[in-house]
Amino acid sequence: MKTNLKDKLFDTFITVFTAVLILICIAPILHVASISLSSNVAILSKKVFIWPVGLNFEAYKNVLTDKSMIRSLFYTMGLTALCAVLSMLMTIMAAYPLTKKHLKGRKAFMVMIIITMYFSGGLIPDYMLVTKLGLYDKIWALMLPSVLSAFNLILLKSFFSNLPESLMESAHLDGASHMTILIRIVLPLSTPVLATLSLFYAVGRWNGFQDALMYIQNTRLYPIQLKLYQIVYNNQMSEIAQMEGTTTLIIPPESLKGACVMFATIPILLVYPRLQKYFVSGVTLGAIKG
């Protein structure tokens, strides 16, 4: 009886604790969404917290009626998908050979990969490299420098190492090549970690801002995050001008910021539920063995 009581108390504690954590995570999103949907008066008087006050869609109209914003959204979707596919191809083709013990220099390769996780050239050398390679102000500047993540590579390599070696050996004895083994045996068994890493790459590219700010000048190549920054910055300049009496401010910066944040966040949030079932298993299974 005492054991059952302790179990019930523990389950109750875990449930309450988890609920609190969920509320802590959701509250900021609800606050931003409420600000984006509230009236100007309510925002300026700081009456908005979790629920919208005085429903107002002017901020979203401002964002959605901008044709360049819609074009930037679809452009970023395509860029994110392309980067995720290219990054996964690179990660798979690098991780699979590193699982083979007969690969010469395997340990040296792993040491070089791990070093890149702790040391980098810095912003100026990166900028000089991109410029010298002729990637500046081109879409490739947003793809090639971040095409491969050392962390994701090690995670996938660990997952591949945990697969039964007997499967590969039997296929090899039947005359299958390494490419055949990879495509027909290894990858079908690696769906959880592949989905997880694809999500990592996609989210990383979707939220990418600094590389676009440094390497891109052509406004038609602006990803959604940089485009939203531009809108918020311009609106802040309008606020300053309004304070100086040179123009009239129609939308508070907080409302426009909230609409921009929600506009950029909702698409990637829609992807999470579809990949959630693979997420935990993909991370944990890939981390069992180094």
Instruction: Determine contact, residues 92/178, Cβ cutoff 8 Å.
Output: no
How many residues does the structure list for the chain? 290
Q: Distance of CA 96 to CAs 30, 148, 182, 217, Å?
A: 43, 14, 8, 38
Separation of CA 14 from chain center: 29
Q: Looking at residue 65, what is its pLDDT?
A: 81
Residue-by-residue pLDDT tens, the chain, 290 positions: 556 777 788 888 889 999 999 888 888 888 888 888 888 788 877 788 888 888 888 888 877 887 888 888 899 999 999 999 999 999 999 999 999 888 888 889 999 998 988 888 788 888 999 999 999 999 999 999 889 999 999 989 998 988 888 888 888 888 888 889 899 889 988 888 898 899 889 988 998 888 899 999 988 899 988 888 887 777 665 555 555 454 445 567 778 778 888 888 888 777 777 766 666 555 555 444 44
- What's phi and psi for 151, nearest 5 deg? -60, -50
CA dist 164 and 142 (Å) reads 37
Q: Looking at residue 276, what is its pLDDT?
A: 66
CATH of domain 58-286: 1.10.3720.10
Q: Looking at residue 22, what is its pLDDT?
A: 87
CA dist 1 and 241 (Å) reads 71
Buried b (16+ CB within 10 A) or exposed e, 144-182: eeeebbbebbbbbbbbbbbeeeeebeebeeeebeeeebb
Q: Looking at residue 253, what is its pLDDT?
A: 72
Q: Looking at residue 290, what is its pLDDT?
A: 42
